[in-house]
């Protein structure tokens, strides 16, 4: 079993800004969403079982996030081309952020040691940050169950 990820960011900290390419050929910065709640969810890899469940759960609840004025951004180290295929295949209505150089996952402290089937490797941990309108981190979910997670995040927006 891998050692639990020790996050370097805490609730109340200023969320690190970033600028990156996105699905659909866009480019965004976290600062573009000043004044809004942002759900920044990190996931390991496009079109894998857990990541697909999580993305589809955000998709299925997307209208509820919109009603609350919240922005949903999914981040993984996959390239834009992979994000575009994933978003199209599962009709994802929110933006996927490409972090191929791993600057975002490293700045948020979600890149680290993992173990799968006895094999150790470096990868992205499934962690979600709720960032407030002032760009402060309001809530962190360091352990995410892909199917149930959106319910927790929606509750935190109430």
Task: Out of 30, 40, 51, 70, pick the active-site residue.
Answer: 51
Helical pair 149-157 and 49-60, crossing angle rounded to 10 deg? 40
Indicate the SS3 state at residue 96: strand
**CA of 121: how far to CAs of 65, 81, 116, 124, in Å?**
34, 24, 8, 10
CA 28 to chain CA mean position, Å: 14
51 is catalytic: yes
Indicate the SS3 state at residue 46: coil
Do strands 95-98 and 111-116 pair parallel, antiparallel, or not at all (unpaired)? unpaired
- Give catalytic residues, as residue numbers: 51
């Amino acid at each position: 079993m891998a050692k639990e990820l020790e996050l370097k960011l805490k609730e109340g900290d200023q969320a690190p800004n970033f600028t990156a390419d996105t699905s659909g050929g866009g480019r965004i910065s976290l600062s573009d969403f000043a004044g809004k709640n942002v759900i920044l969810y990190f996931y390991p890899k496009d079109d894998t079982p857990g990541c697909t469940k999580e993305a589809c759960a955000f998709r299925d609840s997307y209208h509820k996030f919109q009603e609350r004025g919240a922005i949903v951004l999914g981040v993984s180290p996959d390239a834009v081309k992979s994000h575009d295929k994933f978003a199209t295949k599962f009709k994802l209505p929110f933006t996927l952020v490409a972090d191929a150089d791993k600057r975002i996952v490293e700045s948020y402290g979600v890149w680290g040691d993992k173990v799968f089937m006895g094999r150790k490797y470096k990868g992205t941990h499934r962690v979600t940050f709720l960032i407030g309108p002032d760009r402060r981190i309001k809530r962190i979910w360091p352990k995410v169950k892909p199917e149930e997670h959106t319910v927790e995040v929606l509750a935190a927006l109430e």
